[in-house]
């Protein structure tokens, strides 16, 4: 066809015949593009806000975890007592024992009012029986508990010894009652251990000597400990009872505490803390004089 010839009417496009349709189509496309842009802009803003809040929550969670771990260092790292021989070791023994019992730092404000699921109470997780033996507590109907077979319900009465007249007084560590009680218990346990050991043996038979144990949660071959200290023995006595601790030393059969932990772990925990028996005997007076 000659380009100079006029176009046939049939060659006219629909947009040429209906200019309003073309305009409408363009307008619709423009509106759709604007809607998409607006949608993306709005949702991007929302996404940024959501991500910002998630970031803030993540930072807050990290801070909470850090604070928790600082206050509860024993959750993942088992405390180990290490101090020079003598008074420093005795004080470190009490602090380490408190950390092992509560899972908290020894200078935490909350360590004295910790109560576990079995009713074990305070920084050193005292039982009704222990406080009964120390003269602080009279159980209801003269019932008390041992080896975790029953919960410590604390339904009895406190005697008023050292100003402790109630369970709340004890939880509040009123007049340093918990610190005095643990030192009194060490003195009591030392006497019981000496009385329980056979006549041909004394604590010197075991102190600073290697010992092999078998028993609860120990592999068939047993475990050998290179250094048994008085700190370790008294820590074990607090956890399983003084008579049981003496029997374990003699037999080499290691029981577990109420939470299923072998006493060999506690003997290891205190293998680098040691002090003479005389400082245990004077522990209460020394503490009261320095308080």
Going residue by residue through the chain, which has 291 residues, state the pLDDT in tens, using 9 for 90 and above: 455 555 555 555 555 555 555 566 666 666 676 776 676 666 777 777 777 778 888 899 888 877 765 655 555 578 999 999 999 999 999 999 999 999 888 777 799 999 999 899 999 999 999 999 999 999 987 665 555 456 789 999 999 999 999 999 999 999 999 999 999 999 999 999 999 999 999 999 999 999 999 999 898 889 999 999 999 999 999 999 999 999 999 999 999 987 888 999 999 999 999 999 999 999 999 998 887
For the four alpha carbons of 96, 97, 98 and 99, in that order, the dihedral sign comes to positive
Report angle CA 146, 169, 173 to the nearest 5 degrees.
Answer: 85
H/E/C letters for each residue in 41-72? HHHHHHHHHHHHHHHHHHHHHHHHHHHHHHHC
pTM of the prediction?
0.73
Instruction: Give the CA count within 13 Å in the CB-facing half-sphere of 241.
Output: 15
- Domain coordinates in residue numbering, the chain: 17-71, 80-290
Contact 254, 206 (CB under 8 A): no
Contact 270, 160 (CB under 8 A): no
pLDDT of residue 148: 46
């Amino acid at each position: 066809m000659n380009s100079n010839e006029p176009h046939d009417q049939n060659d006219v496009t629909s947009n040429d015949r209906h200019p309003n349709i073309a305009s409408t189509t363009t307008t619709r496309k423009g509106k759709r593009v604007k809607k998409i842009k607006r949608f993306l802009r709005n949702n991007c803003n929302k996404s940024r806000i959501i991500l910002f809040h998630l970031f803030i929550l993540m930072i807050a969670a990290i801070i909470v975890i850090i604070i928790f771990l600082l206050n509860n260092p024993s959750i993942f790292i088992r405390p180990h007592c290490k101090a020079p021989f003598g008074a420093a070791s005795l004080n470190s023994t009490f602090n380490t024992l408190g950390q092992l019992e509560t899972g908290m730092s020894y200078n935490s404000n909350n360590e004295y009012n910790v109560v576990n699921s079995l009713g074990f109470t305070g920084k050193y997780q005292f039982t009704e029986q222990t406080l009964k033996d120390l003269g602080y507590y009279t159980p209801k109907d003269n019932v008390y508990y041992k080896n975790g077979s029953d919960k410590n319900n604390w339904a009895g009465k406190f005697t008023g010894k050292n100003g402790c007249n109630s369970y709340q007084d004890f939880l509040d560590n009123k007049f340093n009652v918990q610190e005095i009680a643990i030192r009194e218990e060490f003195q009591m346990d030392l006497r019981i251990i000496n009385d329980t050991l056979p006549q041909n043996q004394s604590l010197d038979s075991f102190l600073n000597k290697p010992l092999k144990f078998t028993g609860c949660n120990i592999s068939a071959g047993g475990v050998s400990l290179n250094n048994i200290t008085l700190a370790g023995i008294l820590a074990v006595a607090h956890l399983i009872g003084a008579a049981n601790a003496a029997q374990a030393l003699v037999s080499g059969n290691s029981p577990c505490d109420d939470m299923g932990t072998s006493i060999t772990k506690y003997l290891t925990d205190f293998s680098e803390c040691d002090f003479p028996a005389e400082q245990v005997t004077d522990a209460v007076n020394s503490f009261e004089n320095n308080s």
